[in-house]
Amino acid sequence: EDQVTQSPEALRLQEGESSSLNCSYTVSGLRGLFWYRQDPGKGPEFLFTLYSAGEEKEKERLKATLTKKESFLHITAPKPEDSATYLCALNSGYALNFGKGTSLLVTP
Amino acid sequence: GAVVSQHPSWVICKSGTSVKIECRSLDFQATTMFWYRQFPKQSLMLMATSNEGSKATYEQGVEKDKFLINHASLTLSTLTVTSAHPEDSSFYICSARPDSVETQYFGPGTRLLVL
């Protein structure tokens, strides 16, 4: 059975303090690993899709990487506006299987 | 691009009434749309997969007679919560997947409160 586990559950950073969020997964055949950002009371906002080990994608202060067992979302020099819940999801073949998310708080 | 809208954004209704939520893909066609439910501080739980022109596929434990889904066009899916009760109060989010890609784009969500 496909599984997605995100860690940590919550992370508090000072502005400018870089860190990484982890998404560990098990899947019979990877058809895409997705990262989304969700602000309170809103729907998830698409960030990245990764398909194969070794793949990396970047957007502003965010960089997503993928290995055969996990994905990392690296946040470089975060700002308070990066505060949100970051969700990792696996494509199970017809739908997305979401992790529980990492709640990130960046303080000034 | 890839914008999905939902209407209404929030709704309050009395117990026993029905509520319809619309999900539209504004700048792309989507043969497949999805409906999720999210409780406070929890992740998204898939309720059903909606396919244009055919019956929706419901996840285990989701009552198809209570949560009616219609996907009559390539840009519109609707979710009707029938005979709503307080336990149906939740945040409902739809997503749409452009044909030929795997990425799902989400709507802004609809908060339902049943009194």
Write out pLDDT tens, residues B14-59: 999 999 999 999 999 999 999 999 998 888 999 999 988 889 999 9
What mean pLDDT value characterizes chain A?
95
CB atoms within 10 A of CB B98: 18
Contacts of B60 (CB under 8 A, 6+ apart): none
Span B72-105, pLDDT tens digits: 899 999 999 999 999 999 999 999 999 888 899 9
Tell me how far apart the alpha carbons of residues B102 and B92 are, in angstroms, rounded to a whole number.
21
Q: How confident is the model at residue A50 (pLDDT cuts 50, 70, 90)?
A: very high
B100 to chain A, any CB pair closer than 8 A? The answer is no
Closest residue of B to A10, CA-based? B41
CA distance A63 to chain B (A): 18
Closest Cβ–Cβ partner in B42, B49, B103 for A95: B49
Count of residues in chain A = 108
d(CA A69, CA A53): 9
d(CA A19, CA B78): 40
Question: Could you tell me which residues come within 8 angstroms of residue B78 by beta carbon, excluding any fewer than 6 positions away?
Answer: B20, B21, B22, B23, B69, B70, B71, B72
Q: For residue A49, list chain B residues with Cβ-Cβ distance below 8 A.
A: 102-103
Q: What pLDDT is recorded for position B101?
A: 85
Is residue B34 within 8 angstroms of chain A, CB to CB? yes
Q: Are B104 and A41 an interchain contact pair (Cβ–Cβ within 8 Å)?
A: no
How many CA atoms does the CB half-sphere of B86 hold within 13 Å? Answer: 1
Q: Flag whether residue A22 sits within 8 Å of chain B, measured between CB atoms.
A: no
Give CA–CA dist B25/A42, Å, rounded. 17
Residue of B nearest to A5 (CA): B43
Cα pseudo-dihedral B19, B25, B29, B32, rounded to 10: -50
- Alpha-carbon span B25 to B76, nearest angstrom: 7
User: What is the spatial distance between Cα A49 and Cα B28, in angstroms, rounded to a whole number?
Assistant: 19
pLDDT at A63 over 90: yes
- Interface membership of A44 toward B (CB under 8 Å): yes
Count of A-B CB contacts under 8 Å: 49
> Closest residue of B to A39, CA-based?
B108
The verdict on a CB contact (< 8 Å) between B93 and A95 is no
How many angstroms separate the CA atoms of B14 and B56, rounded? 27
Confidence class for position A30, pLDDT limits 50, 70, 90: confident
CB contact under 8 A, A95 and B42: no
